[in-house]
Structure 1
């Protein structure tokens, strides 16, 4: 299955569309959809070159955020989408690197007089998260622009939360969204935490293409089933040994128990390049976009190894995305 070097580079280059704010605004045609990787870092460690995890799905004249890591509002602005234009938000799980930008989105939406309804979809616990953010917004919303006698404005107006679980399916804006629980959490089956929390992967079936977003996950039969035959798989990937090494170097005094838990989480709850190739091949997807990336960057020789490992089992087009790539 391994591609030749030239073929591999050509397939990689052909997958991504060049993106400027103008093309981002004009890219959606009736029946078409475009996926923009607003932030491609693997959190929670911040990066000088990659923003925290966030994506923009533009379809049918609507704009949906898929995960909202820190900086999502600014990255959306680069694509020509102001916060009050956002029609819906999908959250894969409640880790802070995937949700920290939500307060910025909601706060700036309020400040720019966003009045259209906004639905936030996410796993169990999303309502609690949003309620907490809206409570935290009360001082700023009450003071507002500091004008005496100004009429109060309800900063909660129009915001709705829909919590989703494994196997759910919804229709919104002309697309079907199917949901499966992945393996980013591994709480004991039947435990309180397993009942309270799920990490979700999404399949967006548009009239002319299907896009699957894994969010954070380890190897998962459910995600493979969800992605079966999809046109585009947007998948997380990490160089797990290198990430563990960097985390330990950055935290030299980390307690042993915390270190063991962190290493177990990284090893079991994320995908390596080989596992990405295996998933894409078994699901028989049309093409693959890698995001939530932690590893050697493209200007470093070791980066080519990731491409080679994916191509060992997957012979379709794939690419390790940068921020603001469009597909």
Structure 2
């Protein structure tokens, strides 16, 4: 790792063995989709509190990342899905399948936006043949795929208690359907705030600039925010698409600029929220090196002056 990357990592991260908070946040996967890379797993996080685990998004590779972080599968009390794009949900079938295979049927609630129930029902249908055939022994009945699992759909301004954690959800700007339209009601992307007696952690999920997320994060101890380098991403798409469709590229760029956060956007959001500390995840900046990382931190720092770090997989805060 270059000295610049070491400096960027040291700005806000503590190694797992050095962290002793009653509530801690683990960035299991820090790469935004849709393309997979070897250096970062897809978006997934774990809130650890009083011996329980609360997953926040579950991208492809979540169970492997949990194993690397020594987080037991049986410790999961709840899963929170910010939205239903595949890079945030691709690891959920493996997680539910592994629970079934290892005879873990303790209560588990899956929270998410409208459409979460349909998504999970599809996972149970996918699991059906394997769970019904079980281990191939005639006459042996197996537990249904949905044993112990409850699904709760949330929408804008939802508030609830999950164990001793107060959870608040706000609809963000990852989608731009007309307010009040059927699409606006059916397809939502959520940001979450988790308040324990010791600290507050706010997770933006995928979003563009959003006053609602700024309000949700007011005074938060830790703001975990997505970020991407749009120019570098568009350049990478052009380089890897031999015959790019100009209309497709224009639509993609409009989506990335409106529905995601640039470094400047992140700094503005964190400053407006008066967040005490900032962690960058869902990081998309193809081929960025240490100098680029420092450039992003400097751009964020033009508006936000508190500790900031670009997270790596398996960091703990």
Unaligned runs of 5+ in 1: 1-5
Report the CA distance between 1:144 and its aligned residue. Answer: 1.5
What are the equivalent positions in structure 2 for 1:129-148 lying under 5 Å apart?
129-148=119-138
2:10 equivalent in structure 1: 13
Aligned equivalents of 2:236 and 2:8: distance in 1?
31
2:311 equivalent in structure 1: 321
Say yes or no: does 1:41 pair with 2:31: yes
2:100 equivalent in structure 1: 110
TM-score normalised according to structure 2 size? 0.94
1:288 equivalent in structure 2: 278
1:3 equivalent in structure 2: none
2:47 equivalent in structure 1: 57
Q: Is the 8 A contact 1:277 1:314 kept in 2?
A: yes
- Farther-moved stretch of structure 1 (291-300 vs 263-272): 291-300
Aligned equivalents of 1:212 and 1:153: distance in 2?
36
What are the equivalent positions in structure 2 for 1:135-214 lying under 5 Å apart?
135-214=125-204
1:310 equivalent in structure 2: 300
Unaligned runs of 5+ in 2: none
Aligned equivalents of 1:9 and 1:96: distance in 2?
31
Aligned equivalents of 2:199 and 2:254: distance in 1?
36
Residue-by-residue CA offset, 1:137-169 (whole Å, 9 max, x unaligned): 001111211122222221211110000000010
Report the CA distance between 1:205 and its aligned residue. Answer: 0.4
Report the CA distance between 1:39 and its aligned residue. Answer: 0.2
Say yes or no: does 1:101 pair with 2:98: no
What are the equivalent positions in structure 2 for 1:62-73 lying under 5 Å apart?
62-73=52-63
Partner of 2:40, secondary structure, is coil
Find 1:228's aligned residue among 218, 230, 238: 218
Q: Is the 8 A contact 1:34 1:326 kept in 2?
A: yes
Residue-by-residue CA offset, 1:205-228 (whole Å, 9 max, x unaligned): 010100000000000000000000
Residue-by-residue CA offset, 1:78-126 (whole Å, 9 max, x unaligned): 1112333311000000100000100000000100001101100000000
Report the CA distance between 1:9 and its aligned residue. Answer: 8.0
Q: Is the 8 A contact 2:110 2:149 kept in 1?
A: yes
Find 1:274's aligned residue among 257, 264, 270: 264
Aligned equivalents of 1:298 and 1:13: distance in 2?
18
Change (3 A) 1:28 1:109: farther
Q: Is the 8 A contact 1:68 1:100 kept in 2?
A: yes
Residue-by-residue CA offset, 1:162-189 (whole Å, 9 max, x unaligned): 0000001010110100010000000122
Say yes or no: does 1:256 pair with 2:246: yes
Change (3 A) 1:280 1:12: farther
How many corresponding residue pairs? Answer: 314
Q: Is the 8 A contact 2:26 2:45 kept in 1?
A: yes
Q: Is the 8 A contact 1:60 1:174 kept in 2?
A: no
Aligned equivalents of 1:287 and 1:28: distance in 2?
17
Change (3 A) 1:160 1:28: farther
